[in-house]
Amino acid sequence: MSMEAQQPIAPAATEPAGGSSWWLASLRRLRREPLGMAGLCFIGLLVLVAALAPWIAPYDPAVQNLGNALQRPDWIHLAGTDEVGRDIFSRLVWGTRITLQIVVTVTLIIGPVGLLIGVVAGYCGGRVDAVLMRATDIVLSFPSLVLALAFAAALGAGLGTAIVAISLTSWPSIARLARAETLVVRQAEYIAAARLYGASHLRLIGLYVMPMCIPSVIVRLTLSMAGVILTAAGLGFLGLGAQPPAPEWGAMISSGRKVMLDAWWVSVMPGLAILATSLAFNLLGDALRDVLDPRHAR
Amino acid sequence: MTRDLPLKLLRRLLGLLLSLFVLLCLTFVIGRLMPTDPVGAIVGELADPAAYAAMRAKMGLDLPIPQQFWVYVTNLLHGDLGTAVLTGNSVASDLAAAFPATLELATLAIILSVAVGVPLGLLAALYRDTLLDQIARVLSLLGHSLPVFWFGMVGLIVFYAGLQWIGGPGRIDVFYEGIVEPRTGSILIDSLLAGENEIFWNALGHLILPACILAYASMAYIVRMTRSFTLEQLGQDYIIAARAKGLRLPAVVLGHILPNIAVQLVTILAISYGHMLEGAVLVEIVFSWPGVGQYMTNALMIGDMNAILACTLLIGLIFMILNALADAAYLALDPRTRDAR
C-alpha cells in the first residue's frame, strides 16, 4: 500500500547483500533502533507464547462455564470471561497459534511466489515482463478485502480458505518490488562477469540475482504482515476465518459485539492483541527498512 | 512528448478495460465455485428430476461455459444482477438503495481525513524530528495497525454508551425515519434542503463517529505520504532559493510546495477513497449502517451469491476506475512523469 516502500533498496557498494557478515552487521544496526527492537521482541514473545500455550494458559480455552459468564477482568481471570464463561486470557494465548499460523503460511506462499514472478519479469524483460507485470497490476488494482470475502464465501468459510484468499491478493507488492530490484541488479558488473563464465540463466537468476532481492523483500513482507493480520481479523470478524470454537481473535471480537455495551472486555481484549501484533510488525518493518537501506532518510 | 500523451491515456484505458474483464471472469468463476447447488437451493432437495432439469435450463446452467459467461456479461450490461434471496428484490435495486448511505459515509470520511491529514503531514515534514513529527508518526503507525471494526466498537462503547455524546447505530433515530423526502440520497443534504434542522443534527450525530473511524486509517496513510512528498520538495534547490530571497515559510508552503505535490496528493486521495469503500464493509456492520457493506455481509451470512458478487463487482469497479483516474491525472497533469516512462 505504501508507495515509499516500493523503492528498490540497491545493494550497498562495499558489502554484498546476503553474505553472513552482512546479515550480522544489519542485526547490529537493528539493535540501535529501539522501536524496531521492541517490535522484534514482541513477535518473539508471541512465538514463545504460541509454543508454550498449554503451559501458559491458566484455563482450557474451550471449556464453557455458564455460571461464570461475563466476569470482569480480575486476578482470577486476567482478561475476564466471555458470554459462555470461557477465560478470555487463555483464549488469547491459544489464539496466538492461529495468528502465527496465518502469518507464517501467508509469508511462505507470497514471499517465494512474489520473488519468483518479480525476478523472472525483471530478468527476462520484453514480453515476459509485460505479461507478468500486467497480471500483477491487475491484481494490485483489486480491492483485496472484498475479493477475499467473495473467495471465502465461495470456497466455504475456514482458516485455510482465509489464508488462500489473503495470499491470492497480497503477492503483487512483493513481485513489483523484486522486479524493480532485479532491474538494478541486472546491470551489475558481477552479473556480466558470471555470464561470461558461462553461467546459465537459471543459475544467474537463482544464485546471483535473487539473493540480492531478499533484503528488500523481507522488509516488504514484514510490513505486509501488519496488513495481513488486520485482513485476517476482518475475515474472522465476519465469520469467514477460523470457525468457532477456535479462539481466533477477530471472531472473538465478533462474539463480544452482542454484549459490548455491558461487558466491554469481551471485545476490547482481543482487539488489543490484534493492535499490538500488527503494530509490532509495522515497527519492525520500519526499522528493518532503515537498517537494510542506508540511503533511506527518515 | 505531448503528442503521445493521448496514446498513453488510451493505453491506460485499455488496461482498465482488461482489468475489468479479469474482474468479471473472477466473479463468474467464484460464482461457479460455490459449494452449494444453486438449482437445488431453489427447487428443493426432493424435487423430481424433470423439474430439476427444467429449472437448470431456465437458469442457463445447461449451456456450455463460454456461453454462460456471455449471458452473464450481457445481463450485467443490461443492469440485471439477478435476484437477491434475502429481500426478493432485484440486486440492482437493492444496491441502488444501499449505495447512497455508503457514499455519504465515505465522502464525509475522505473530507475529514484530508482536512486533518494533509496539514499534519506538511507540518510533520516542516518541523521534522520535533515532538510534532513524533506525534504524527505515532498517529500514523496506530492508524496502520488498528483493526477498523474493533476501533468502531470501542468508539461506540466510549462515546455512545459511556459519554452519550453521539447517536447510536443506524443513520438516524427511528422516529425521524421517512420524514425527509429523499432527493440526493444523502440525509444531511436532503434534510437541509427540506429545512429540517433537527433531522440534520440528528443524522450528523449518527454519521460523525463512523466517519471519523473510517477516516482515521486513511488519514494515517495521507499523513505519511504528504510528509514524504514534502520532504522530497524541501530538499530541492528552488526551495532554498525561495527561502534565500526572503520568502516566509507559509508563503513557501502555499506558493511552492503545495502546487508541486498537488498531483501526487490527488493520486493518494483517489486510492484512499477506494480503500474507504472497502473499510466501509467492516465499519457498516459495527454501526448497523444500511449501506453496501452491510448488504454484502448479510448476503455472506446466507450464502446469497448473486448479491455477494454484485457487491464485489460494484466495489471493484469503483476501486479500479478511481485507480485509473488517479493514474491518468498523474500522467496528464504532471509533465515530469512523461519523460520517466
**Winning range, highest mean pLDDT, from A17-26, B74-83, B306-315:** B306-315
Q: What is the DSSP letter of B245?
A: T
State pLDDT tens for residues A203-261. 888 888 898 888 889 888 998 999 899 999 998 888 888 887 888 898 898 888 888 77
**CB contact (8 A) between residue B30 and residue A279:** no
Min mean pLDDT across A17-21, A26-30, B119-123 is at A17-21
**CB contact (8 A) between residue B145 and residue A282:** yes
Better-predicted residue by pLDDT, A9 or B341? A9
Q: Which of B35, B275, B300 sits opposite A238 (nearest CB)?
A: B300
Answer whether residue B252 shows pLDDT above 60: yes
Q: ∠ CA B159-B161-B166 to the nearest 5 degrees?
A: 45
Better-predicted residue by pLDDT, A31 or B183? A31
- pLDDT value of position B337: 60
Residue with grid cell 479500479, as numbered in its chain: B320
- pLDDT value of position B37: 67
Instruction: Please tell me the distance in Å from B180's CA to the nearest CA on chain A.
Output: 31
Chain B residues close to A268, C-beta within 8 Å? 150, 153-154, 157
Per-residue confidence band for A18, with pLDDT thresholds at 50, 70 and 90: low
- Longest CA pairwise span in chain A (Å): 77
- pLDDT value of position A12: 44
CA distance B154 to B142: 15
Answer whether residue A109 shows pLDDT above 50: yes
ipTM of the complex: 0.83
Chain B residues close to A3, C-beta within 8 Å? 225
Q: Which of B147, B305, B323 sits opposite A141 (nearest CB)?
A: B323
Lookup: cell for B279: 473499510
Q: Which of B150, B275, B297 sits opposite A253 (nearest CB)?
A: B150
**Winning range, highest mean pLDDT, from A76-90, B136-150, B240-254, B290-304:** B136-150
Answer whether residue A15 shows pLDDT above 70: no
**What is the Cα Rg of chain B in Å?**
24
**Cβ neighbours, 10 Å, residue A118:** 29
Provide the 3-class DSSP secondary structure of residue B83. strand
Better-predicted residue by pLDDT, A7 or A96? A96
Average pLDDT over residues A94-122: 93
Answer whether residue A3 shows pLDDT above 50: no
Give me the amino acid identity at A281. Answer: F
**CB contact (8 A) between residue A226 and residue B145:** yes
State pLDDT tens for residues B3-51. 677 887 888 888 888 888 888 888 888 877 766 666 766 667 677 778 7
**CB contact (8 A) between residue B145 and residue A278:** yes
- pLDDT value of position B116: 92
Chain A residues close to B275, C-beta within 8 Å? 1, 143
- Longest CA pairwise span in chain B (Å): 89
- pLDDT value of position A48: 94
On whether the CB atoms of residues A97 and A68 are closer than 8 A, the answer is no
Q: Which of A146, A155, A267 sits opposite B150 (nearest CB)?
A: A267
- pLDDT value of position B41: 67
**CB contact (8 A) between residue B278 and residue A145:** yes
Per-residue confidence band for B110, with pLDDT thresholds at 50, 70 and 90: very high
Among A211, A137, A145, A221, smallest CA distance to A181 is for: A211
Average pLDDT in chain B: 81
**CB contact (8 A) between residue B33 and residue A154:** yes
CA distance B322 to B313: 14
**CB contact (8 A) between residue B145 and residue A144:** no
Average pLDDT over residues A87-102: 90
On whether the CB atoms of residues A247 and A95 are closer than 8 A, the answer is yes
- pLDDT value of position B36: 62
Per-residue confidence band for A277, with pLDDT thresholds at 50, 70 and 90: very high
CA distance B296 to B285: 10
CA distance B22 to B26: 6
Q: How many CA atoms lie within 13 A of A23 on its CB side?
A: 8
Exposure string (b/e) for B293-302, b if CB count within 10 Å is 16 or more?
A: bbbbbbbbee
**CB contact (8 A) between residue B149 and residue A3:** no
CA distance B261 to B240: 17
CA distance A163 to A107: 10
CA distance A242 to A235: 9
Show Cβ contacts of residue A55 under 8 Å, excluding neighbours closer than 6 positions: none
Instruction: Please tell me the distance in Å from B194's CA to the nearest CA on chain A.
Output: 35
Q: Which of B146, B148, B309 sits opposite A150 (nearest CB)?
A: B309
Chain A residues close to B159, C-beta within 8 Å? none
Show Cβ contacts of residue A100 under 8 Å, excluding neighbours closer than 6 positions: A46, A47, A50
**CB contact (8 A) between residue A3 and residue B225:** yes
Among A137, A149, A229, A254, most B C-beta atoms within 10 A, so best to mutate, is A149
- pLDDT value of position B178: 67
**CB contact (8 A) between residue A260 and residue B297:** no
Residue with grid cell 505504501, as numbered in its chain: A2
> If DSSP states are collapsed to H, E and C, what string results for A226-243?
HHHHHHHHHHHHCCCCCC
- pLDDT value of position B3: 60
**CB contact (8 A) between residue B157 and residue A264:** yes
Lookup: cell for B177: 425515519
- pLDDT value of position A14: 45
The residues with which A265 forms a beta bridge, in sequence order, are none
Give me the amino acid identity at B201. Answer: W
Phi, psi (degrees; rounded to nearest 5) at A81: -125, 160
Min mean pLDDT across A21-35, A183-197, B143-157, B212-226 is at A21-35
Chains A and B form CB pairs within 8 A to the count of 144
Q: What is the DSSP letter of B291?
A: S
Answer whether residue A11 shows pLDDT above 50: no
Q: How far apart are the first and last CA of chain A?
A: 18
Chain A residues close to B225, C-beta within 8 Å? 2-4
Among B25, B85, B130, B149, most A C-beta atoms within 10 A, so best to mutate, is B149
Q: Which of A144, A153, A234 sits opposite B308 (nearest CB)?
A: A153
Answer whether residue A127 shows pLDDT above 50: yes
**Cβ neighbours, 10 Å, residue A59:** 19
Average pLDDT over residues B197-212: 83
Average pLDDT over residues B305-328: 84
Average pLDDT in chain A: 84
**CB contact (8 A) between residue B300 and residue A147:** no
Average pLDDT over residues A93-98: 91
CA distance B265 to A217: 27
Q: Which of B19, B157, B281 sits opposite A138 (nearest CB)?
A: B19
Chain A residues close to B305, C-beta within 8 Å? 153-154
- pLDDT value of position B35: 60
Answer whether residue B186 shows pLDDT above 80: no
Per-residue confidence band for B196, with pLDDT thresholds at 50, 70 and 90: confident
Q: H/E element holding B51? A: helix B49-58
On whether the CB atoms of residues B292 and B307 are closer than 8 A, the answer is no
Q: What is the DSSP letter of A6?
A: G
Q: For chain A, how many residues are written?
A: 298
Among B332, B328, B340, B334, smallest CA distance to B12 is for: B328
Q: Which of A134, A233, A282 sits opposite B147 (nearest CB)?
A: A233
Q: Kindly write down the DSSP assignment for every residue of A26-42, as one continuous string.
A: HHHHHTT-HHHHHHHHH
Lookup: cell for A156: 466455504
**CB contact (8 A) between residue B15 and residue A283:** no
Average pLDDT over residues B217-237: 87
Better-predicted residue by pLDDT, B226 or B7? B226
Burial class for B250, CB neighbours closer than 10 Å (0-12, 13-18, 19+): exposed
Alpha helices in chain A (DSSP H): 20-30, 34-51, 53-56, 88-124, 126-140, 144-155, 159-170, 172-186, 189-196, 201-203, 210-237, 249-256, 264-292
**Cβ neighbours, 10 Å, residue B54:** 14
Average pLDDT over residues B77-97: 80
**Cβ neighbours, 10 Å, residue B112:** 18
Average pLDDT over residues B234-260: 83
Average pLDDT over residues A39-47: 93
Residue with grid cell 476490547, as numbered in its chain: A268
Residue with grid cell 482536512, as numbered in its chain: B115
The model's pTM is 0.85
Lookup: cell for A49: 507464547
Answer whether residue A13 shows pLDDT above 60: no
Per-residue confidence band for A262, with pLDDT thresholds at 50, 70 and 90: confident
Instruction: Please tell me the distance in Å from B297's CA to the nearest CA on chain A.
Output: 7
